Amino acid sequence: MEKVKVLLADDHQMFLDGLASLLSQLKDVEVIATVNSGKEALTRLTTLSPDLAILDINMPDMNGLETTKKIKEKYPDIKILGLTMENDLQLVTGMLEAGASGYILKNTGKEELELAIRQVIKGEPYLSQTISNQLAQNLLRNFQQKNEPQDALSSLTERELEILKLIALEHSNSEIADLLFISPKTVETHRKNLMRKIEVKNSLGVYKFAVKHQLLKE
């Protein structure tokens, strides 16, 4: 099997050396270049053709996201893995949108790193388990919030809120119509709508709702 050629970019030399050493232990992976910046990575790519670039997200002169965009524009066949200490979902999303095939944390072990490389080279996306779990939790939370019934009070329009208070104070439809300069028929329509929204069946239910939400206090 042909070795996977890898370019590494990280501005921390000690970490870069350690990562290169770790990858050298994988029999079908070859590190062909190590660089300390995104700009240097782009310069080296004019003469090198790696299969994979593993990029630190937080490089100072050109961060991983910018570097990823430029690499994918000029060399679309190069696969990219984002690398960082932070499991920040915004960073993850940004890297993936820029064209990265995966995202791993710097505390990733040898086995997971090897798995990530193999998966990305096959054309499959890879996210470290920590990030996958966080993304799943975030999606689930958003789904639950989206599907929760809207808070009854916040669902009322300003006019419905006015009429609700007047109903709770025992005003009739015609009295409310006179107070608000609208027709009794319009009042009745608003009454039905607001009672449906707050899920009550009569004026007593409206009164209890108003008291519960402290709508009758001056």
Q: Which CATH architecture has domain 158-212?
A: Orthogonal Bundle (1.10)
The domain ranges of the chain are 4-144, 158-212
Q: Specify whether the CB–CB gap between 194 and 200 falls below 8 A.
A: no
66-90: b or e for each residue (b if 16 or more CB lie within 10 Å)?
A: bbbbbbbeebeebbbbbbbeebeee
List, as one string, the DSSP characters of 163-197.
HHHHHHTT--HHHHHHHHTS-HHHHHHHHHHHHHH
CATH class of this structure's domain 4-144: alpha beta
pLDDT tens, position by position, for the chain (218 residues)? 589 999 999 999 999 999 999 999 988 899 999 999 999 999 999 999 999 999 998 888 888 999 999 999 999 999 999 988 876 777 788 888 899 999 888 888 888 899 999 999 999 999 887 777 777 677 676 665 555 445 788 888 889 999 999 999 999 999 999 999 998 999 999 999 999 999 899 999 999 999 988 888 75
Q: Report if pTM > 0.75.
A: no
